[in-house]
């Protein structure tokens, strides 16, 4: 679908060049093309740019004229080099990036060009565990925060143009200073990643019989530990000090939890301290915004037994559609060798009873 060029702030956004056509660069290209923007793409590996073009993310070429915005979508360690080359070649009116750390890469460019008004950092808070253009999605940024980090020298029109870029990608722009950004992502993304890796690492050499009885809790808390280490190594290298600060505070919490558990194990202590840490967890989790950046959406789960036969899941989804209910999310629990799996259909709370009744009437086994 193509619409008129994106109009919000800083004038219309008509032309964008994306340097780095991997997961994020190609997703930016796809989203901008959907918004009617003309996109050109380049990559250190021309084959990657060609694949992104094939998927519809833009034309694999350098721009012939300066574009409205150049987006550096290379790994964090390469971003400053990409921006410096582009600024030297005069490729755009406004320059931005999407790297997951902001202070280091932006300072390197600002140091070479003090007071450069056309430079504004950016970081979409959306990603996937896979990389490369083949993993790109047009709707990757839909409803997600896109952190925009102006520098002291950034001009207002350039900040607005980067916000227009975020909006054209379907994201919600949020302004922060680079250092505030780096502390925030250390807290909500980088340190949690390290903790997930540490928890999952405990399982690596554990007895098979213990790992074999794992349920959904440990899967939930270790999901991101499945990611390719390379991009996370770049992020942790570039944001080491803020991440260490979060982990040091966590170490103090862990020491308090140990004291409380040791006291319980020794007998005679109350459960107050352990309860306090569990309640602090409830309070923190409650503060996480929902998928669209608003308050947490509490979805209702309708668990349905799905026989392990080809086409059964598709048949279930058709039955949900026939019930007139929108699927907000879908999770599948399935153990090897079992003749059936459990599909957890997540729907708006007001619709769960109606869906359960409709599926039961249609012959599905609903576990509620």
Ligand X SMILES: NC(=O)C1=CN([C@@H]2O[C@H](COP(=O)(O)OP(=O)(O)OC[C@H]3O[C@@H](n4cnc5c(N)ncnc54)[C@H](O)[C@@H]3O)[C@@H](O)[C@H]2O)C=CC1
Ligand Y SMILES: O=C(O)C(=O)Cc1ccc(O)cc1
Interface residues with ligand Y (CB under 6 A)?
100, 125-127, 189
Nearer to ligand Y, 25 or 100 (CB): 100
HEC assignment per residue over 199-263: HHHHHHCCCHHHHCCCCHHHHHHHHHHHCCHHHHHHHHHHCHHHHHHHHHHHHHHHHHHHHHHHH
Task: Tell whether residue 185 is a contact of ligand X (CB under 6 A).
Answer: no
DSSP letter assigned to residue 135: G
Q: Other CB atoms closer than 10 Å to residue 200's CB: what's the count? A: 17
Compute the half-sphere exposure of residue 201: CA atoms within 13 Å on the CB side of its CA.
6
Q: Other CB atoms closer than 10 Å to residue 256's CB: what's the count? A: 14
Nearer to ligand Y, 57 or 126 (CB): 126
- Contact yes or no for 105/80 (Cβ under 8 A): yes
Nearer to ligand X, 265 or 288 (CB): 288
- Contact yes or no for 175/148 (Cβ under 8 A): yes
Task: Tell whether residue 253 is a contact of ligand X (CB under 6 A).
Answer: no
Taking the complex as a whole, the smallest distance from the CB of residue 185 to ligand Y amounts, in Å, to 7
Taking the complex as a whole, the smallest distance from the CB of residue 264 to ligand X amounts, in Å, to 40
CA separation (Å) from 48 to 5, 54, 136, 322? Answer: 26, 10, 12, 41
Nearer to ligand Y, 63 or 242 (CB): 242
Taking the complex as a whole, the smallest distance from the CB of residue 307 to ligand Y amounts, in Å, to 34
Residue 189 contacts which entry, ligand Y, ligand X, none (Cβ below 5-8 A, type-dependent): ligand Y
Of all residues in this chain, which one has the CB nearest to ligand Y in the complex?
Answer: 100
Residue 351 contacts which entry, ligand Y, ligand X, none (Cβ below 5-8 A, type-dependent): none
Task: Tell whether residue 132 is a contact of ligand X (CB under 6 A).
Answer: yes
- Contact yes or no for 101/76 (Cβ under 8 A): yes
Nearer to ligand Y, 195 or 313 (CB): 195
Taking Cα atoms as reference points, which of 150, 55, 138 lies closest to residue 102? 150
The SS3 of residue 344 is strand
Taking the complex as a whole, the smallest distance from the CB of residue 88 to ligand Y amounts, in Å, to 27
Task: Tell whether residue 86 is a contact of ligand X (CB under 6 A).
Answer: no
Query: Contacts with ligand X in 304-363 (CB under 6 A)?
Result: none
Taking the complex as a whole, the smallest distance from the CB of residue 126 to ligand Y amounts, in Å, to 6
Nearer to ligand X, 92 or 347 (CB): 92
Taking the complex as a whole, the smallest distance from the CB of residue 136 to ligand Y amounts, in Å, to 14
Taking the complex as a whole, the smallest distance from the CB of residue 324 to ligand Y amounts, in Å, to 31
Residue 58 contacts which entry, ligand X, ligand Y, none (Cβ below 5-8 A, type-dependent): none
DSSP letter assigned to residue 123: E
Nearer to ligand Y, 27 or 154 (CB): 27
Q: How far is CA 32 from the centre of its chain?
A: 18
Taking Cα atoms as reference points, which of 250, 242, 243, 247 lies closest to residue 281? 250
Q: Where are the alpha helices (DSSP H) in the chain?
A: 23-34, 46-54, 76-89, 103-112, 156-168, 178-185, 191-204, 208-211, 216-222, 229-238, 240-266, 272-286, 312-322, 352-361
Beta bridge partners of residue 19, listed in sequence order = 42, 72
Taking the complex as a whole, the smallest distance from the CB of residue 168 to ligand Y amounts, in Å, to 19
Taking the complex as a whole, the smallest distance from the CB of residue 53 to ligand Y amounts, in Å, to 24
Binder among 13, 28, 41, 48 for ligand X (CB under 6 A):
48
Binding mask 7-26 for ligand X (x = CB under 6 A): ------------xxxxxxx-
Task: Tell whether residue 81 is a contact of ligand X (CB under 6 A).
Answer: yes
The contact set with ligand X (CB under 6 A) reads 19-25, 43-45, 48, 73-76, 78-79, 81-82, 98-100, 123-124, 127-128, 131-132, 231
């Amino acid at each position: 679908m193509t619409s008129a060029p994106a109009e919000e702030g800083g004038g219309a956004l008509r032309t964008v060049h994306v340097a780095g056509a991997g997961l994020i660069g190609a997703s930016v290209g796809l989203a901008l093309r959907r918004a009617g923007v003309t996109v050109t793409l380049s990559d250190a590996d021309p084959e990657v740019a060609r694949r992104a073009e094939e998927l519809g993310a833009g034309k694999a070429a350098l721009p012939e004229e300066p574009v409205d915005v150049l987006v550096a979508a290379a790994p964090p360690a390469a971003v400053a080099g990409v921006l410096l080359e582009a600024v030297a070649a005069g490729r755009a009116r406004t320059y931005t990036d999407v790297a997951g750390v902001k202070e280091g890469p932006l300072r390197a460019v600002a140091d070479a060009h003090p007071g450069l008004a056309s430079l504004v950092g950016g970081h979409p808070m959306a990603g996937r565990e896979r990389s490369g253009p083949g993993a790109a999605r047009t709707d990757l940024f839909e409803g997600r925060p896109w952190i925009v980090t102006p520098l002291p020298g950034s001009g207002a029109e350039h900040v607005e143009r980067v916000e227009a870029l975020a909006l054209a990608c379907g994201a919600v722009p949020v302004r922060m200073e680079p250092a505030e950004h780096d502390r925030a992502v250390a807290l909500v993304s980088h340190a949690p990643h390290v903790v997930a890796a540490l928890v999952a690492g405990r399982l690596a050499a554990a007895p098979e019989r213990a790992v074999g009885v794992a349920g959904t809790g440990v899967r939930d808390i270790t999901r991101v530990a499945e990611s390719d280490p390379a991009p996370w190594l770049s992020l942790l290298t570039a944001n080491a000090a803020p991440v260490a600060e979060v982990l040091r505070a966590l170490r103090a919490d862990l020491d308090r939890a140990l004291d409380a558990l040791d006291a319980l194990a020794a007998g005679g202590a109350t459960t107050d301290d352990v309860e306090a840490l569990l309640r602090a967890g409830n309070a923190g989790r409650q503060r996480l915004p929902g998928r669209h950046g608003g308050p947490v959406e509490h979805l209702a789960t309708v668990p349905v037994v799905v026989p392990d036969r080809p086409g059964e899941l598709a048949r279930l989804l058709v039955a949900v559609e026939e019930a007139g209910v929108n699927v907000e999310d879908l999770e599948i629990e399935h153990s090897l060798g079992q003749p059936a799996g459990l599909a957890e259909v997540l729907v708006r709370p007001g619709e769960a009873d109606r869906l359960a009744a409709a599926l039961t009437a249609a012959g599905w086994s609903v576990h509620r």
